[in-house]
Chain A
Amino acid sequence: MDFDLTEEQRLLSETVSRFVADRYDFHSRLKAMAEERGYSRAIWDQMADLGLLGLPFAEGDGGFGGGGVETMLVMEALGRGLVVEPYAGAVLMAGGALRLAGSPAQKAARLEGIIAGQYLMALAHSEPDGPRHTVDQLRTRGVVDGDGWRLTGAKTAVIAGDSTDELIVSAVTPGGVTLFLVDPQADGIAVQGRSGYDGCRVADVRLDGVWAPANAVLGGVGSGSATLTRLFEEVTAALVAEAVGIMTDALNTTVDYLKTRSQFGVAIGSFQALQHRAVDMMMQVELARSMAILAALSLEMPAVERRLNIAAAKAKIGQAARFVGQQAVQLHGAIGLTLEYKIGHAFKRLTAIDALLGDADHHLDVIAEAGGLPAIG
């Protein structure tokens, strides 16, 4: 057992934390949300300069070869700042699909741009009429047409899908689920962007017989399920870490508020009912932090352990995030319910994280079906 960071990891964590502390106060977030694409280009460029956009990619591909722990450190720091820039969506999710399944040629054409912050990708997977979370129960279809494919279907909650240079679309094809690289300007595509309730940009995407050439297939035909399964484990671990960052900041903000808000002539933090609630929040944050570490380390484990540990982490984080989010609002009183104060935004993003990639109940089902969790160590 060793929960210590390596020297390099500590440096990474400090660098990102300092970046968030210096450049990303609550006001910057509001400003970024108000920009046309829903986040700040300038911040994105700075993230590229710091090397964050290249973190998960192999050194041979121009990246830094970061693993689960490195991603956890970055996501936790970004969570503390409630960063709206689509790091998880563009770099970890869509970039991850490319990293896991892309051919050398497909990677070579894109990775440099992604790492430099010049090229953005988005994964279009969730469907409005589908199950709440699934890898392969899709309605979007890909049918062979000449030497390529025609894609038809509807996708929703595509992160930053309206400012993306390229979409990765999942579709059911003969032989299973296949991932396709699709130009969002192609004929037959309609992209409708909007601000998600958590402040992050999302888009609905409609595909009406969109043409994709044979070399647009990412990985092999029918290999999409395997790619997505692995990808969602990685991104789930990342979201869990983001939630820990958000909860940590929400807890700190709440405790500060309890110390400074005065009613009945005393700081409200002197009321034991509120002290105990804050302690309950803090305990949830610590349990969640433990699960984020478990999720990050599980990425290197064999398939069954990996799957179940990450499910456990997401389930725990969903429950903790709900409690911490609700109580942070409650202990603030009315100010917790406004958009002019950070807590309400944290509450909403925590809610979104539970909903994304399977909520707490979904992952409890996974664990229940497997008959429990594997031993660790």
Chain B
Amino acid sequence: MNLDFTDEDRAFRADVRTFLAEALPDDLRRKMVERRHLAKEDIVRWQRILNARGWAVPAWPVEWGGQPWTPTQRYIFQEEMALAHAPEGSPFNVNMIGPVIARFGTEEQKRRFLPRIANIDDWWCQGFSEPGAGSDLAALKTSAVRDGDDYVLNGQKIWTTQAQYADWMFALVRTDNTGKKQQGITFLLLEMKSPGITVRPIPSIDGISDLNEVFFDNVRVPVANRIGEEGRGWDYAKHLLGHERSGIARIGLSKERLAQLRQLRADLAARGMLTAAEQARLDRKLAEVAVELRALELTQLRVVAADAAGGGAAGAASILKIKGTELQQRMTELTLELAGPAGLGVPDHHGEGDGTDGWRAAAPLFYFTMRKVSIFGGSNEIQKNIIAKTMLGL
């Protein structure tokens, strides 16, 4: 046993680091450091820089722009991206619909969509959840009825992130009501400008309106835009949700945030804004976070190594998700505590911050919005149910 990365992996890390240092635009980096909301253009711009380097979609099949990286290298890449304050790209394009089309799409669909997905020529959103179908996703009701070469959709999606930007949606719809509820589900690709689609924004607690309701009123979707077979959508969706786990715990992101917390603490102390008792307590809390993060890092590396060797335990992703999100949330609590009541008045979170102290206004909003990470992508309660079942046999 040893903890050393191979020479190859180290060289790889150095390459990634050099590239990021040169390629990441300064204004984007600053926005990321200050936790400001990224505009669509910001994400697209960065994705295209990565795409030009061939690194926009490393986990995809090589013929569609992927890289032949090992799980360890994918892990290193993610970590370096986070440490460099690089934006993450659109998860819907990169981690969700791309891999599904690459695996289950027709040749025609691959040629038509994949290059545009990788370059975000099309922005995609995820139409899975419905008012009655959250954790119980298979309860979804939006109906798709076959009419000639089209499906006709009626119903509603909700919590559709960034539907307001989207050119396309990948959606789960019901084509059959008769059998088990997982069986009548079909996976469709639909154009957001199709007649009969209405998008209503839902403001969220950080003041940003990235969530939406999407209503379908007799929306026609060509059968050619179906993924795979009718009624098999559940299988494709499961593939999408369990696709990639080398980055689930988001170690790099948490490392970067911990470093920033240390920086903020030092800054406030230097300005005489922290008592000695506060400094001591903060240092202890930061040490606790550092220990938790290290334990999670090693656990994530064990999973990466097991996957590289041909497959680790099924429930491991759930452990990484729960512990990773708890840690991210814990760090937002510490930033909130550092900001104190000065964070109460919120200057322009969306525009230019007021330099050094913009983070204090952003801290509470970030704390609020980060409650989402234990809710979406399978809530932490659902993840515990999975662990109990798959790993403990309960």
Binding site for B on A (CB under 8 A): 126, 128-133, 156-157, 194-198, 202-204, 262-265, 271, 273-274, 322, 326, 329-330, 333-334, 336-340, 344-345, 347-348, 351-352, 355-356, 359, 361-362, 365, 368-369
Does A263 contact B139, Cβ atoms closer than 8 Å?
yes
Given contacts A132-B273, A344-B205, contact A330 B342 (CB under 8 A): no
Which chain B residues numbered 295 to 353 have a C-beta less than 8 Å away from chain A? 333, 336-337, 340-347
- Contact A197 B368, beta carbon cutoff 8 Å: yes
Which residue of chain B has the shortest Cβ distance to A366 in the bound complex?
A: B277
Contact of A330 with B374 in the complex, beta carbons under 8 Å: yes
Is B372 in contact with A132, judged by CB distance below 8 angstroms? no
Given contacts A131-B273, A338-B211, contact A330 B346 (CB under 8 A): no
B278 an interface residue at 8 Å Cβ cutoff?
Answer: yes
- B249 at the binding interface (Cβ < 8 Å): no
CB distance A355 to B368 under 8 Å? no
* B127 interfacial contact with A, CB 8 Å: no
Q: Taking A194-B347, A202-B345, A355-B343 as contacts, is the C-beta distance between A339 and B203 under 8 angstroms? A: yes
**Shortest beta-carbon distance from B128 to chain A in Å:** 12
Task: State the interface size on chain B (CB cutoff 8 A).
Answer: 48
B 96-137 to A, binary, CB cutoff 8 A, 1 in contact else 0: 000000000000000000000000000000000100101110
Whether the pair A351, B379 counts as a contact (CB closer than 8 A) is no
B209 to A, closest residue via Cβ: A339
Complex alpha-carbon distance, A340 and B200, angstroms: 13
In the bound assembly, the distance between CA atoms of A355 and B342 in angstroms comes to: 9
Question: Could you give, for residues 352-376 of chain B, a 1 whenever the CB lies within 8 Å of some chain A CB and a 0 otherwise?
Answer: 0000010000001101110110111
Residue B229 is within 8 A (CB to CB) of chain A in the complex = no
Known contacts: A203-B345, A273-B384, A347-B205. The answer to whether A355 contacts B275 by CB under 8 A is no
Within 8 A of A (CB), among B263-300: 271, 273-275, 277-278, 281
A264 touches B136 (CB 8 A): yes
Besides A196-B346, A197-B343, A336-B371, 13 new A-B residue pairs in contact (Cβ under 8 A), listed by A number: A156-B344, A203-B345, A329-B371, A330-B371, A337-B369, A338-B211, A339-B203, A348-B368, A351-B368, A356-B341, A359-B337, A365-B281, A368-B277
- B342–A128 CB distance below 8 A: yes
A-B contact pairs, 22 of them (CB 8 A): A129-B273, A131-B273, A132-B340, A157-B344, A194-B346, A194-B347, A197-B364, A203-B345, A262-B132, A329-B375, A330-B371, A334-B134, A337-B204, A337-B368, A337-B371, A337-B375, A339-B205, A344-B205, A347-B371, A351-B368, A359-B337, A362-B278
The answer, among B202, B364, B374, for a CB contact under 8 Å with A338, is B202
B88 within 8 A of partner (CB): no
- Determine the chain B residues whose CB is within 8 A of the CB of A204 once the complex forms: 345
Distance (whole angstroms) from the CB of A155 to the closest CB of chain B: 11
Q: Which of B337, B347, B369, B379 is A361 in contact with, Cβ under 8 Å?
A: B337
Find chain A residues with CB under 8 A from B342 CB.
Answer: 126, 128, 132, 156-157
Is B159 interfacial (CB-CB < 8 Å)? yes
Q: Looking across the interface, which residue of chain B has its beta carbon closest to that of A361?
A: B281
Are B371 and A326 in touch, CB under 8 angstroms? yes
B217 within 8 A of A: no
Q: In the complex, are the beta carbons of B205 and A274 less than 8 A apart?
A: no
Are B375 and A351 closer than 8 Å at their CB atoms? no
Question: A188–B216 Cα gap in the complex (Å)?
Answer: 57
Residues of A near B235 (CB, < 8 A) are none
Q: Is B381 an interface residue (CB 8 A)?
A: yes
Give CA–CA (A132, B203) in the complex, Å.
Answer: 30
- Cα A157 to Cα B344 in complex, Å, equals 6
Q: Are A157 and B345 in contact (CB under 8 A)?
A: yes
Using CB atoms, name the residue of chain A closest to B365. Answer: A197
Q: With A197-B343, A334-B129 known to touch, is A263 a contact of B364 (CB < 8 Å)?
A: no
Of A132, A157, A326, A365, the most chain B CB neighbours within 10 A belong to A132
Whether B205 and A333, one on each chain, are in contact in the complex, defined by CB atoms closer than 8 angstroms, is no
Report B212 CB to chain A, min CB distance, Å: 11
Residues of B near A339 (CB, < 8 A) are: 203-205, 207
Q: Are A198 and B344 in contact (CB under 8 A)?
A: yes
What's the nearest-Cβ distance from chain B to residue A326, in Å? Answer: 6
Contacts of B202 in A (CB 8 A): 338, 340
Complex Cα–Cα for A198 and B343 (A)? 11
Min distance, Cβ B348 to any Cβ of chain A, angstroms? 9
Residue from B273, B367, B376, B385 in contact with A351 in the complex, judged by beta carbons closer than 8 Å? B367
For A359, list chain B residues within 8 Å (CB): 337, 340
Judge whether B346 and A355 touch: CB under 8 Å: no
Complex-state Cα separation, A351 to B342, whole angstroms: 13
The residue on A at minimum CB distance from B372 is A337
Cα distance, A202 to B364, chains bound together (Å): 15
The answer on a CB contact under 8 Å between A194 and B375 is: no
Smallest CB-CB A-B distances: 5 pairs? A132-B340, A263-B136, A344-B205, A339-B203, A196-B344
On whether the beta carbons of B205 and A337 are closer than 8 Å, the reply is yes
Partner of A355, one of B134, B273, B340, B385: B340
Chain B residue with the shortest CB-CB distance to A368: B277
Query: With the chains together, A156 CA to B361 CA distance in Å?
Result: 12
B157-171: contact bitstring with A at CB < 8 Å (1 yes, 0 no)?
011000000000000
- Assembled-state Cα–Cα distance A336/B281 (Å): 31
Bound-complex Cα distance A157 to B339 (A): 12
Contacts of B132 in A (CB 8 A): 262
State the CA gap A339–B364 with chains docked (Å).
Answer: 15
- B367 close to A128 (CB less than 8 A): no
B356 to chain A, nearest CB (A): 11
Residues of B within 8 A of A271 (CB): 381
Residues of A within 8 A of B379 (CB): 330, 333
**Residue numbers in A under 8 Å from B273 (CB-CB):** 129-132
In the bound complex, residues from chain A placing their C-beta under 8 Å from that of B365 are: 197
Cα distance A154–B346 in the bound complex, in angstroms: 16
Tell me the minimal C-beta distance from A88 to chain B in angstroms: 13
Complex partner residue of B271 from A129, A273, A356, CB under 8 angstroms: A129
| Smallest beta-carbon distance B102→chain A, Å | 29
Q: Contact at A157–B205, with CB atoms within 8 Å?
A: no
Contacts of B337 in A (CB 8 A): 359, 361
A115 to B277, CA, bound (A): 41
Contact of A351 with B205 in the complex, beta carbons under 8 Å: no
Per the bound structure, the CA–CA distance linking A129 and B333 in Å amounts to: 21
The answer to whether A194 touches B381 (Cβ under 8 A) is no
Which residues of chain B are within 8 angstroms of A265 by Cβ–Cβ distance? 136
Q: From B204, B278, B281, B340, name the one whose CB has the most chain A CB atoms within 10 angstroms.
A: B340
A192 to chain B, nearest CB (A): 8
Distance between A358 CB and nearest chain B CB, rounded to angstroms: 9
- Contacting pair A338 B336 (CB below 8 A): no
Query: Are A196 and B345 neighbours in the complex by a CB distance under 8 Å?
Result: yes
Q: Which of A263, A347, A348 contacts B134 (CB 8 A)?
A: A263
